[in-house]
Chains A and B, each alone.
Chain A
Amino acid sequence: MYARCDAAIGSRLKGGKVELMIAAAKNSEAENSALPESDEQLMLAFSRGSKDAFGELFSRYKQPLFGFFRRRVTDPEQAEELTQETFLAVLRAASRYEPSALFRTYLYAIGFKILRAHRRKAAFRATFLGAATREPVAESGTGEEVLLRHAVGKLDRIEREILLLREFEQLSYAEIAELLRLPVNTVRSRLFRARMALRDLLTAPVPKSSVSPLKPSEERI
């Protein structure tokens, strides 16, 4: 699904046919899949004890969730831990699950809370206990990818978060608004601002010195 999401980034932007395309993709997937249920149905089945349902949910969301954390924390190991922690939280809270929202939103809301808690703890340790955060990991990937990360890292914090949630997690404006507790119009305007800022950063000539190690505030969200 993750590959499908990434591939859909381009195709999704071809205008108002997006929803139809996604729906068609879902339908085709449903036809081919052994478990044709929606995420919410799977989660309900899991809350009733179906281990297979959770297996299917896990296979659908393991990579997107790992990507969610991997793009937001510096250390890959921490991203793994947080991914694991999020799935375990879903596991623990399964009995209390109520399908009042999309499972995707529910999952990212949990992930977001865990991410915030992780940031708070790390910042507290670094501020008051003098514990250093883990050693920065060497930048990997192509030059284009590194430049992209730097550019995203320079965006305003909230705008960057909105941009990532929209582009990678593919949340709708309403879902982002719910997740970040912002008005939908604010989400839209800040997303536009983030895209414009990113466009400017990507099109502007980049001096070599700026690709050197990121400042802490520019690393990740």
Chain B
Amino acid sequence: MCLGIPGKIVDVYTANDLTMGKIDFGGVVREACLVYIPDAKVGDYTLVHVGFALNLISEQEAQETLELLREISEIEEKLGPSQ
């Protein structure tokens, strides 16, 4: 239940006074409520739980995490293999 899935927002609209969106999960498109991410726009990535988008995914933070891990990898190469 707490396993959210990342998806790309492909449409934003209003239904029953709620901001809703179509989210593309790697080819499968489903509806989600966007009321908790008021800044969301088409093209953004978000994480959806039980039909509600809970946050936008930060591209910058995602890149920084991957960069950090790649740096560890470069340092490891210099140090040689672990035990």
Q: Is the A/B pair a real complex?
A: no
User: Which of B's residues lie within 8 Å of A, judged by CB?
Assistant: none
Contact surface of A with B, Cβ cutoff 8 Å:
none
